[in-house]
Amino acid sequence: MIRNTIIASCAAGLLSACSGTLIQAERATAPADPFARALHAGYTDLARAELDENDFADADAFAARAVAASSGKPPAPENFGARWLPAAKLPELTSARKKLVTALNRGAAQSTPAEAARAQLAFDCWVQEQEENFQTADITACRGRFAAAVASLDTKPLARATPQRPRATLANLKAPRGAAPLKTKFVVYFDLDAAALVPGAESEITRAAAAARRSGAAMVRVTGHADRSGADGYNMKLSRSRAQEVVRALRRLGLPEIGVATQAFGEEKPAVPTGDGKPEPRNRRVEIELTH
């Protein structure tokens, strides 16, 4: 289902939109930091490989990570919130991610940047291939590269981080006293059978763009949805159009030059479960999530 969704997402004239982030990544200046530079190159290669396989959505997601790395703000290893992973594989992936994050937190990106980048790239490759769950050789290869890379981190002394004032991030940014905490998730709602922004939607999008600037977000994930009042194919197309409309508005309303990954699920992930054919305003939405 996921792979069919990905292929369909660009089949109707959306190839240029899906490959645009890759072009941006390829044209970006390589960052000075060795870890960020290795991630930029590695994510760009992964994006190109997925594009060659007509996997446009994953190509766009990897390219968005490359853009984030090129700006000197390397993204964290892939989390599982936006992935549909086999339940039986989650314990192994969760353990692997914890091991990688522990090494990065101890300073692996500074002491062994090439090995740390290889471990993160292999992990993200493993997660992506595991979600598709049909190319067994690719899953095995990515998992093997991760195991080798993370083992090399374990055998080398890690640099002691130099005490410094932490920069603002999504995790530690605090709002001024008396102000509400900075949001990292935003939702834009749509009219029935429409992808145009409704009155008031730009206010929510403006808040999302402003939060991305203030928080130092590394990338933005924009996910389109539809309710169940139409056919599956129509709802998938509609949810893609809604996501693209929000991306355009984000750029217009001040989103910084960071990576943007788009996804569309049609009626597959309703916020409010309903029967087939039933309209539901809360399901006609685009979710904006800032990630660090």
Measured distance CA(209)–CA(188) in Å, rounded? 13
Residues 134 and 242 in one domain: no
Residue 286, beta-bridge partner list? 188, 224
**Measured on CA atoms in the order 269, 180, 74, 245, is the torsion positive or negative?**
positive
More confident residue, 72 or 130: 130
Shared domain check, 80 and 223: no
Quickly state the pLDDT bin for 1 (edges 50, 70, 90): very low
Kindly state the tokens that stand for 278: 């039933």
Burial of 23 (0-12, 13-18, 19+ CB in 10 A): exposed
**Mean pLDDT over residues 14-39, rounded?**
76
pLDDT for res 178: 53
Domain range enclosing 131: 2-154
Q: Give the contacts of 169 (CB within 8 A, at least 6 positions apart).
A: 215, 216, 292
pTM of the predicted protein model: 0.61
φ/ψ of 229, rounded to 5, equals: -85, -5
Question: Is a pLDDT exceeding 70 seen at residue 9?
Answer: no
- How far, in Å, CA of 57 to CA of 53, rounded? 11
Whether residue 98 is found in the same domain as residue 237: no
Q: Of the residues 154, 175, 197, which one is the last residue of a structural domain?
A: 154
Domain CATH for 208: 3.30.1330.60
**Contact status, residue 288 vs residue 197, Cβ threshold 8 Å:** no
Is there a domain that residue 164 lies in? no
pLDDT tens-digit map of 136-182: 999 999 999 999 999 998 655 544 444 444 444 444 444 455 555 56
Please state, for a pLDDT cut of 70, what percent of the chain lies above it. Answer: 82
Q: Which residues contact 76 (CB under 8 A, 6 or more apart)?
A: 101, 218, 291, 292
Looking at the chain, the whole-number percentage of residues with pLDDT higher than 90 is: 51
Averaged pLDDT of the chain: 83
Coil/strand/helix, residue 290: strand
**pLDDT at 40 exceeding the cut of 50:** yes
Q: What is the pLDDT of residue 167?
A: 47
pLDDT in tens, 86-98: 878 888 998 999 9
**pLDDT 10s digits, 268-285:** 999 999 999 999 999 999
Number of compact structural domains in the chain: 2
User: Do 11 and 150 belong together in one domain?
Assistant: yes
Inform me whether the pLDDT recorded for 120 exceeds 90. yes
